[in-house]
Structure 1
Amino acid sequence: MSSIGTLWTTPQFDKGKRIRAVAAWVGLSVELPADYVHFESNKQPEFLAKFPHGKIPALETKDGFKLFESQAITRYVASLAPNVPLLGSSPEEAALIEQWASFSESEVGVLTTLIFQLVRGILPYTKPIHTVFTERQVRSLETLEKHLATRTYLVGERVTLADITLASVILRAVTVAVDASVRAKIPNVIRHFETIVNHPKLKPVFGEIEYVEKALQFIPPPKEKKEAKPAAPAVPKAEKKPKKEEVDEEEDDLLKEEPKPKNPLDSLPKSSFNLEDWKRAYSNLDTRGAEGSIEWFYKNFDKEGFSVWRVDYKYNSELTQTFMSSNLIGGFFNRLEASRKYLFGSMGVLGANNDSVISGTLILRGQEAKPVVDVAPDWESYEFKKLDLDNEEDKKFFEAALAWDLELEGKKWVDGKNFK
């Protein structure tokens, strides 16, 4: 395949996959920079000189033509192969393709993003709004279902840009809100989706499809328990004479509460590092300094029994207001409650409204993150990288996250939360 040029995007980004799929369909390709790091590379001066708003996807062709916004890029790439009419062969077809592509994006794709932001706490959660968004998305899918009930493709008798756009939109929707119960109502939409994504030209781009069985749901943080009032003195009751022995011993055994299973982390070898002592030191000492909590940590840390991790939110491009991002961290920490005795965290929001990232550090029991964090349903929304405190860069990141003065690519710490 002939390469058009360089496409700045992330491999998992659905809009980036859409552009790559269009290129593959018309017999072209785009190059993905191997060293691209989202929210770092696209904030560099050299990137902003080419694409001033710093958005991805962004395309730079071999002859220096530059373009951003996914819709503009897909249309441009589709137009490079006039013998493969992804854009239609008449003004009427072109208009219909634009209609269904726009409908797919605005009525299904945007709602998927809004639902995701609600259930993950990025937007303030209210059940009525969640219901409205879900119902509106289902209604849109039902419109597509009726249209596809008598058609193989959205427009005409061959694949067009509308089909690839819809497939890329459904690709994400089936991992967020379009669960098994919704999919049962739209068999023709799913048939169309699987036809497109499994086409030999497109399967290498779209990859294996993962369907969510149950739509993602908002999990509210646990309410604080009120202190119990002291019980009134018990009034001694008159002893009752025991009746004749009529207790069924087998039935009595069934009524006994079964012992709760032990957490596998409890079976790890004992550690010299006391996490509760560390939490007290962090709370009561200055963070930096000769007598600070960081120095206390280095003097007492047991790297055999505990490990240190960097945590980064995967969907920073969807973050809006920084206070909402801070609430997102709070929700994540609340859902980690069951692992409180194995875990300490310091995470923050860096940047400004509509241009922020979530990052921080965790100190946890054992050498693997998953056994500790998978008690939170949204743990997979974060990337976990083990830090080596003998490495200067890792050590610098760790200390800055603890001190709340972490800075990433010019983005300064604006708010943070601790899990103690």
Structure 2
Amino acid sequence: MASIGTLYMTPVMASAKKIKAAAVLSGLSVDHPASYVHYEDNKKPEFLAKFASGKIPAFEDPEGFTLFEGTAIARYVAALAPNAGLLGHSLKESALIDQWISYYQTEILPNIRPIAGMLAHRLPYSKALETHYRELLPRPLGVLDKHLSTRTYLVGERITLADLEAGSALVMMYEQIIGKEQREQFPHVLRHYETIRNHPKLKDIWGPTEYIDVQKAYTPPAKTKEAKPAAPKAAAAPKKKDDADEEDEPLVPAEPKVKNPLDDLPKSNFNLEDWKRAYSNMDTRGSGGALEWFYEKFDPEGFSVWRVDFKYPEELTQVFMSSNQIGGFFNRLEGSRKYLFGSVGVLGAANDSKISGVFILRGQDHKAVVDCAPDWESYEFKKLDYAGADKEFFEAALAWDLELDGKKWADGKAVS
């Protein structure tokens, strides 16, 4: 099969497998750069020069044409071989294919992703929210089940791009969200899914689905306990002469308090508590504002400034929920509150947003401050040149007027 270009992806990315499936059914193929490292290469200037969002999957053809967003790439690949029929054989069929693709993306996935994110500890867990999304899911599945009860494929008599959307969208639901009892409530959806996943040309691309018998329950992340120094043995208290037949309880000294290693850092002239008060009580920008105060007093030897970005923006839905997620993350940083300050916001709109902002941290190692929060690894940290190349980002994040990739600041929180 002829290669049509390079596809940047990760091996488990469902939306990228949809693109590969479209290529195979069109008699085409895509190459994969063996050296690509996600969260590293897609942050580099040369990658961002081609793909402004920094997201994958991302596609580049030999002539330098580039695309990001899985559905757009899959549609482009399908259009390269119109005889394959993946986009339909008429204007009406094409419109129906778009209809069902949109239905999966707006009615099914927004109910699946938040549950999966909470179960995997990538999102703060809320029993009420999990119940909410589980209760929303049966209705759109019922619409699909009724539609598929009289047909093999979503549109027409042959597999189309809409069916490939189903094959990629539902794997997370079957492997993480619903068990055997729930699957059996929608037999036609399951039959259609297995038809697409077991297509002879696509089976190796999709891989097996590991169905669960019982829906998964949330389990809190395991807490790592720090080894505590052994308490010295106390000498037994002398017995009273008139109580010789009674055993005295040994006097055990109070357990020594474990010292935070950040306390051993050299003393800094920058007082974080004074900065928090300045930020709260002053205008951020302008003469006599908080930023002016910061630049005058900040100590780069004792503190560092970091950009923080949530790694899984595709899991974000409603803005208020994303804002609550930031608040939950800040709450879990309570153990390090005296060593940090943060201003983080939600940029964009519902189902098209990202979380980004800045942290000011004690010392030069972000992990030493934030690893008290079990979900800190869901965020990417990058040290900022706050007074130089990254000054605009830093100031905008503090002033709550940050804008990235056309996404404007919608809501935010500060930890102080």
**TM-score, normalising length: structure 2:** 0.59
Partners of 2:136 and 2:63 in 1: CA distance: 43
Q: What is aligned with 2:244?
A: none
Residues 204 and 351 (structure 1), Cα distance of their counterparts in 2 relative to 1, 3 Å cut: farther
| Structure 1: distance between partners of 2:131 and 2:217 | 11
Query: How many Å separate the matches in 1 of 2:167 and 2:96?
Result: 17
Any conservation in 2 of the 1:322–1:356 contact (CA below 8 Å)?
no
CA–CA distance in structure 2, aligned partners of residues 46 and 106 of structure 1: 32
Distance of 2:90 and 2:175 partners within structure 1: 36
Aligned to 1:216, the other structure's residue is in SS state coil
Contact 2:311 / 2:380 at 8 angstroms: preserved in 1? no
Counterpart residue number, 2:368? 402
Q: 1:103 to 1:407 in 2, by over 3 A?
A: closer
Partner SS, residue 37 of structure 2: coil
Residue 24 of structure 2 contacts residue 201 of structure 2 at CA under 8 Å; is this kept in 1? yes
Q: Secondary structure at the match of 2:229?
A: helix
Q: Which residue of 2 aligns with 1:237?
A: none
Amino acid of the structure 1 residue aligned with 2:24: A
- Which residue matches 1:187? 187
Alpha carbons 1:121, 1:327 under 8 Å: kept: no
Contact 2:114 2:315 in 1 (8 A): no
> Pairwise mapping of residues 247-262 of structure 1 onto structure 2 (< 5 A)?
none
Counterpart secondary structure, 1:286: helix
Aligned-partner SS, 2:170: helix
Aligned pairs for 1:140-289 (under 5 A) are 140-219=140-219, 275-277=227-229, 282-283=259-260, 286=263, 288=265
Query: Is the contact between residue 288 and residue 403 of structure 1 (CA under 8 Å) also seen in structure 2?
Result: no
- Corresponding letter in the other structure for 2:16: G
Query: Any idea what SS the aligned residue of 1:209 has?
Result: coil
Secondary structure (helix, strand or coil) at the match of 1:174 reads: helix
Residue 329 of structure 1, CA deviation: 9.8
Question: Counterpart in 2 of 1:125?
Answer: 126
Q: Count residues in correspondence.
A: 296
Length-normalised TM-score, structure 1: 0.59
- Give me the whole-angstrom Cα distance separating, in 1, the residues matched to 2:153 and 2:330: 42
Query: Aligned residue for 1:304?
Result: none
Matched AA of 2:126 = Y
Shift in Å, 1:33: 2.1
SS in 1 for 2:83: coil
Partner Cα distance (1:407, 1:155) in 2:
41
Seen in structure 2, the aligned counterparts of structure 1 residues 284 and 29 have a Cα distance that, compared at 3 Å, is closer
Q: For 1:35-46, list aligned pairs within 5 A.
A: 35-46=35-46
* 1:17 Cα deviation from its structure 2 partner: 1.3
Separation of aligned partners in 2, 1:162 and 1:177: 22
8 Å CA contact retained: 2:116, 2:172:
no
The aligned counterpart of 1:238 is none
Identity between Structure 1 and Structure 2 (%): 41
Q: How far apart in 1 are the matches of 2:33 and 2:98?
A: 30
The residue type paired with residue 125 of structure 1 is: S
CA RMSD of aligned residues (A): 4.4
Distance in 1 separating the partners of 2:384 and 2:209: 35
Residue by residue over 1:346-365, the C-alpha shift from the partner in whole angstroms, topping out at 9 and shown as x without a partner, is xxx999752569xxxxxxxx
- Residue correspondence of structure 1 range 21-36 to structure 2 within 5 A: 21-36=21-36
- Whether contact under 8 Å (1:121, 1:328) holds in the other structure is no
Residues 277 and 74 of structure 1: CA distance in aligned 2, closer, same or farther (over 3 Å): same
Cα distance in 2 for partners of 1:81, 1:176 equals 35
Q: Distance in 2 between matches of 1:411 and 1:164?
A: 41
**CA, structure 1 residues 115+172, in 2 after alignment: closer, same or farther (shift >3 Å)?**
same
- For residues 300-331 of structure 1, what are the alpha-carbon distances to aligned partners after superposition, in whole Å with 9 as ceiling and x for unaligned? xxxxxxxxxxxxx9857546958736846988
| Partners of 1:108 and 1:137 within 8 A in 2 | yes
Q: 1:184 deviation in Å?
A: 0.9
Could you say if the C-alpha distance between residues 187 and 330 of structure 1 is closer, same or farther in structure 2, counting changes exceeding 3 Å?
farther
Paired position in structure 2 for 1:303: none
In structure 1, the residue corresponding to 2:59 is in which secondary structure?
strand
